[in-house]
Structure formats: structure tokens, C-alpha cells
Amino acid sequence: MKKIVLCFVLLIGIIPKVYAEDVNLAEKAKSAILIEPTTGEIIFEKNSHEKLHPASMTKMMSMLLVVEAIENKSLSWDEKIRVSENASSMGGSQILLETGEEMSVRDLFKGVAIASGNDAVVALAERVAGTKDAFVTMMNKRAKELNLKDTNFKNPHGLDDANHYSSAHDMAMIAKELTKHEIVFEYTSIYEDYLRKDTDREIWLVNTNKLVRFYEGADGMKTGYTKEAGYCLTATAKRNGMRMIAVVMGEEDSKIRNSEASAMLDYAFAQYQLDTILTKNTTIQKIKIDKAKQKQFTIIPKEDITFLYKKSEKKKKIDYTLELQKVKAPLKKGDKIGNIIIKENGKDIRKIDAIIKENVEKANIIELYLKHITDIFKGDISIRS
């Protein structure tokens, strides 16, 4: 890998390294965590790795797999799913699906995100994986990919099972992954809506997460309740371009659950600030690529590069370097061609993929020859990345 040191020095706030354990947050919760998702920084935690029943917060993983299936085009929002007897017979919260009924992926997803429908999530699971059990296997595989060490799923809905467990930390990490799919918030932020509108089986959906109506900036993500789990909530909210994720588990009732999650979010928005250093559209460098048809290409970050810091902290200098791999045409837009290494006081603190902004077409022999001749006359020496 070829290292190119870019002399960019940026004034930003120091990344918080110490958890906010000195504040009185989530006092009645069995476990809790507060994070900023773009950096993954933990602002506060309490027993965050304790394995507990997650109840319907489980559905966040189910929603993640559905959205990923849609993005890889193995599923579409408008596809109609025929409801199985297994799905329609699910107990607990439901949207009253009937065996043989057909409903779009969009409406089923809405039924999960808003009303926490167990029948809806099973219908989606069976479509994505073939069977509910196969979908659960996918859930656990995805959990391992996300390095969730406190989690084991036994179903896609969260009804109590002795071997179905997770932690506040792992729930926050699933929510963090979901925040990368902005379309999810189009559903989780809805407070009320209807399914089967203007039919004799119309059903009114009211969001189980009351914060989306009563808390400024709240736009998700998922509630949960069973006798074993108690009252749980993964709450997301965004203000002034900064999103926060708060998770509480094992609360005594829904009022305390909402109050403690809100207090955690209040603390984060009052105490912290997010700076965006580079966006995913920022040009890092222009390069030439071996055997490419075009003359030059643009390197950009795969994602926004942000830093979280306490508003009371002093500013610190941050720089970054670009490390390029040896690549040649052809390449697809979005292909990784190196790393952007973020440094604080000369120490590597984060690594972001550097990707190519455009498709890179391979030149034919004649085009390569003409390009070589032109470069000779111009005295241009190509950068072989």
C-alpha cells in the first residue's frame, strides 16, 4: 500500500474518552447506554453488557435484515407478500393479519416499525429467508458480523425465550447500523397511520414509541415489553445535525422508560457537539489510474468523518493521511482504493475507507497507445496507484 501524507491539520474538539459515569442517568433501569452513532463514542453506560431479554427491540435486527435485502435487490418495497398461517397465528402485538392475505413489504414494515406487529415481522422473515428459523440464523450471523458478543436470537419478534437475549450495548450497535439506512426513519418517526385504508378491515396504527410525538427531534427507534424483559426502549433523536441513541432496559413502566431515555438524550444534546471534518462528497485527492480510459479520478471518504466532543473541552489539532492501494482499471464507483487514517497527536485513532467516486473504464490498446504518446509530448508522468 502506498502512503501519501496529506498535510491537512484540522481544529476539532478532543474525542471524549471517559464515560459520563458521574451523572445521575437511568437510575431505575437495569442497564442503559448513550452513544453518538457516527463516531460510536459512548457517552454514558450502566451495566451495558448485561445479558437481558430485549423484548420487541429484537425487531431492530429484523428491520435491518429487511432493509439490507431491499438494498441488495432481493426484495422490494412494493412486493406483495402472502401471509402464512404461521405468521397470522403469532400472539402478542399484531396488525391482525389473516392467513392468505397479501400485503406489501412497505405496509408490513410499517406494521413492525410503528405497531411492533409480531405477525408482520414473521411474514417478512419468511419472505426474506424462506422460514422463520432460517431468518433467525441470519439474525445471529449478522450479530456476529457486527461483533455483538452479548446477543443470541431465537426468534425475529422478541417474545420471551430462555436463550433469547441481548444487552443495551448490542441494541445500541444494531440501532447504530440502522441509522446508516435513512429510509428507516421514514417509518420509525411516524406517530400514527392506517393500514388497509378505506376497507372494512382498516386498522389504526399508533407508535409504541411516544417520544416521536413528545420529544423534540425524536425519530425512532423501537420499544419493547414482556414480563421478563420489563419496559425497554431504544430511542433515537436528532438536533442540529447531531443524532444520539439512548437505550434503557428493564424499566418498571413505560412512563419511567420514556422519562429516563429522554433525560439521557437531554444530557447529550446539552453537553456535546458534533463536528463534521469531511463529508462523503469531499474530494480528498485527484489521481490517475493505470490502464484507465479517463484521465483522472476522484478519491472521497466512504462516509462522513465526524468528531464528538464536550462543549467545554479545548480544541485539539487533528490531521489525516491517505494510504492508496495498487489498483488498475476497471473499477466500479464506490470501490475501495485505500484508507484515510485519522490521527490525534500523531496516533492513529480511526480508519475510514477511501473510495473511488466514478466508474473507471479500462482503455483498449489503441487508447492506451494514444494516451502514452500524448503524455510523452506533454511531459506528463502518470501516478501509478
Helices 59-71 + 168-178 axis angle, to 10: 20
Contact call for residues 250 and 232 (beta carbons, < 8 A): yes
Out of 30, 46, 48, 56, the active site residue is 56
Pick the catalytic residue from 31, 93, 116, 167: 116
CB 153 within 8 A of CB 134: no
- DSSP string covering 264-289: HHHHHHHHEEEEEEE-TT---EEE--
Residues 6 or more apart from 44 whose CB is under 8 A from it?
A: 19, 20, 21, 23, 25, 26, 32, 33, 34, 264, 267
Which of the 8 DSSP states describes residue 9?
E
Q: What's the order of all strands across the beta sheet hosting 230-239?
A: 41-46, 31-36, 242-251, 230-239, 218-226
94 φ/ψ sector (left φ>0, alpha ψ -120 to 50, else beta): beta
d(CA 202, CA 260): 35
* 56 belongs to the catalytic site: yes
Cis peptide before 330 (omega within 30 of 0): yes
- For residue 291, indicate whether it is catalytic: no
Contacts of 137 (CB under 8 A, 6+ apart): 129
Residue 287: which of 300, 273, 297, 275 has the closest Cα?
297
Q: How far apart are CA 65 and CA 127, in angstroms?
A: 11
Torsion of CA 13, 17, 23, 26, to 10 degrees: 110
- 116 is a catalytic site residue: yes
Which of 30, 31, 48, 59 is flagged as catalytic? 59
d(CA 288, CA 298) in angstroms, rounded, equals 9
Print burial letters for 129-162: b (CB count within 10 Å at least 16), e (below 16): beebeebbebbeebbeebebebbebbbbbbbeee
Q: Is 237 helix (H, G, I), strand (E, B) or coil?
A: strand
Question: Cβ atoms within 10 A of the Cβ of 309, count?
Answer: 21
Annotated catalytic residues are 56, 59, 116
